A and B are shown apart, each in its own frame.
Chain A
Amino acid sequence: MEDIKKLEEFQAKIDADLKIEPKDWMPEEYRTHLQRQISQHAHSEVIGMQPEGNWISRAPSLRSKVVLLAKIQDEAGHGQYLYSAAETLGKSRDEYLEELHSGKAKYSSIFNYPTLTWADIGAVGWLVDGAAIVNQVSLQRTSYGPYSRAMVRICKEESFHQRQGYEIMATCALGTPEQKKMAQDALNRFWWPSLMMFGPHDSESAHTANAMKWRIKRETNDELRDKFIQKTVQQAEVIGLTVPDPDLKWNEADGRYEYGEINWDEFWNVVKGNGPCNKQRMRHHIKAHEDGTWVREAAIAYAEKQKSKQLVA
């Protein structure tokens, strides 16, 4: 009985658009849904450092090197706040990392695609961060307070990243014939995986109904994907690139683009671990974590020695 009353109060708060805070009562499913979603988001920021980091040493100008380094540093910072937000739900960062390493937790499949050329760094900023922003703008109004506040901060930085990515893409697209080819190739490879970032169709999505009821998500996967397509197609046209969708056309009457269907077999394949880089990304992360074990142990041992010295003194 008591739980039913609590649940009603909880839902009333949500319906009144009040934020749920860490110490508030929440249904267990709400907690686990958020633990899964926020940690997945944090892991994505961190794993995303790998494909982008792949080009720091080869960035074609010192300015572009500095911009890329600063961007990756921001992404790592986002990972850090998101882990902190996820920790308010009663699990430690170490536990979340164990779930990542065991394969229980996921990260965005987009980072299982390789960055093969410099233009891919443009595509990641423009398309991947562009898709992430559409999702994150919506999540600024999510019902869980710490997640919502993290999103407000993250959105500010992401919009810079998207502009920087577009700038790289535009510079290539408007450059020499080889650069233009590189830009078109990057768009060809990253377009569909970027659309897949929004997740399955609403009808296929296991988590959408609860997430909407609890206002964790404010818009559905399909609504967000549509927003992204409508704004991005025009950006491609402006720099003379062709979106690799033969069914894409402008519908004059509705004032919007119509588009083709995603290859869902590819989507599920990558989710299940068969993307070009799934194993590489995970091995890399686990190796860095394991190589760092002695460092973390030393830091703890040192801190404990200092503590006992203080006690003696």
Chain B
Amino acid sequence: MDKKEALINYCLRLGDTSLILGQRMAEWCSNGPILEEDIAMTNLALDLIGQARTMLTYAGELEGNGRSEDDLAYGREEREYYNTLLSERPNGHFGETISRNFLHDAYLYHLYAALKNSKDEMIAAHAAKSLKEVTYHLRHSSEWMVRLGDGTEESHNKVQQAINDLWEYTGDLFEMNEVDNLLINEGIAVDMNTVKQAWDNTVNEVLTRAAIQRPEDAYMHSGRLNAVHSEYLGHIIAEMQFLHRAYPDATW
């Protein structure tokens, strides 16, 4: 693997993660618990898909075969997607979505905070811009974590259960392979161990405020780095890609 291949893969990880989480958030449209939350969740989806577009466009440019953002989003299959396992978890009820997003927002927040010093100018600029958005996302999910965790007994139990259930997908967020090693040496990527420490601090702080117990680390699922996903991803992308694939000659 050379630097270019590693960088393309790194961009796909970032782009795919935003795309899949964005696709999940868009499912909330017209289903929010209040109108204001419907607006907020659509807004999160908009930010995330915007982030995906930047990274997929860049991956296509690096590749140099003329593939556009849409070719990459609509033309790849499950085993070519490098999103986090956490991003594809189903929305479930509002508390499950908030819990998933909180764990994920804290991850992207610290990842982008570190990547804004990347030696790759595009990645650095993308991280700086996305950090502004993710700061708001993290605030949104953290505030809801606290409200639900310290709200009623029912809301507390629902969120505690959601965090317990999602915990086993958090290990995947921080795994590294030769792509990371190569790009860390180039000053492009960041050491996920450092991101993990910052993530731990944020998660601990918010869970404490929310009166939610942090689960013990036990078995962690893994798969992102090798594009091995849960069954959910295939359905997300089948739905997303259907029209584009049904009319291959069409432009929209």
Q: Which residues of A contact B38 (CB under 8 A)?
A: 49, 76
When the two chains form their complex, are residues B69 and A60 in contact, meaning their CB atoms are under 8 A apart? Answer: no
Q: Is the CB of B252 within 8 A of A60?
A: yes
Q: Which of B3-53 contact A (CB under 8 A)?
A: 19, 23, 26-27, 29-39, 42-43, 45-46, 49-50, 52-53
In this complex, what residue of B is CB-closest to A300? B151
Q: B46 contacts A66, CB within 8 Å?
A: yes
A49→B39 CA distance, assembly (Å): 11
Most chain A CB within a 10 A radius of its CB, from B19, B93, B155:
B155
Q: Which of A275-313 contact B (CB under 8 A)?
A: 284-285, 288-289, 291-299, 301-302, 305
Q: Which residues of B contact A292 (CB under 8 A)?
A: 32-34, 37, 94
Give the Cβ gap from A114 to chain B, nearest Cβ, in Å.
14
| B29 with A291: CB separation less than 8 A | no
B41 → chain A closest CB, angstroms: 9
Total A-B contacts with CB atoms under 8 angstroms apart? 139
Contact yes or no, B35 A46, CB < 8 A: yes
- For window 153-178 of B, CB contacts with A under 8 Å fall at 154-155, 158
Shortest Cβ distance from B146 into A: residue = A302
- B34 → A minimal CB distance (Å): 6
Contact across chains for B152 and A301 when beta carbons are under 8 A apart: yes
Residue of A nearest to B25 (CB): A69
Contacts of B35 in A (CB 8 A): 46, 76, 79-80, 83
B residues in contact with A69, CB < 8 Å: 26, 29, 42, 45-46, 49
Cα distance A70–B49 in the bound complex, in angstroms: 11
Q: Does A199 contact B (CB under 8 A)?
A: no
- Give B25 Cβ to nearest chain A Cβ, in Å: 9
Contact of A176 among B42, B50, B147, B250 (CB under 8 A): B250
Which of A58, A301, A302 is in CB contact (< 8 Å) with B243?
A58
CB distance from A172 to the nearest CB of B (A): 8
Given contacts A57-B239, A62-B69, contact A305 B29 (CB under 8 A): no
Residue contact A73 to B49, C-beta cutoff 8 Å = no
From A53, A66, A284, A295, contact of B49 by CB (8 A): A66
- Tell whether, in the assembled complex, residue A62 and residue B70 are in contact, meaning their CB atoms are under 8 Å apart: yes
Residue numbers in B under 8 Å from A201 (CB-CB): none
The answer on a CB contact under 8 Å between A73 and B42 is: yes
Partner of B94, one of A46, A61, A118, A295: A295
**Chain A 154-183 interface residues, beta-carbon cutoff 8 Å to B:** 168, 171-172, 175-176, 178-179
B positions within 8 Å CB-CB of A? 19, 23, 26-27, 29-39, 42-43, 45-46, 49-50, 52-53, 56, 69-70, 73-74, 93-95, 146-148, 150-152, 154-155, 158, 239-240, 242-244, 247, 249-252
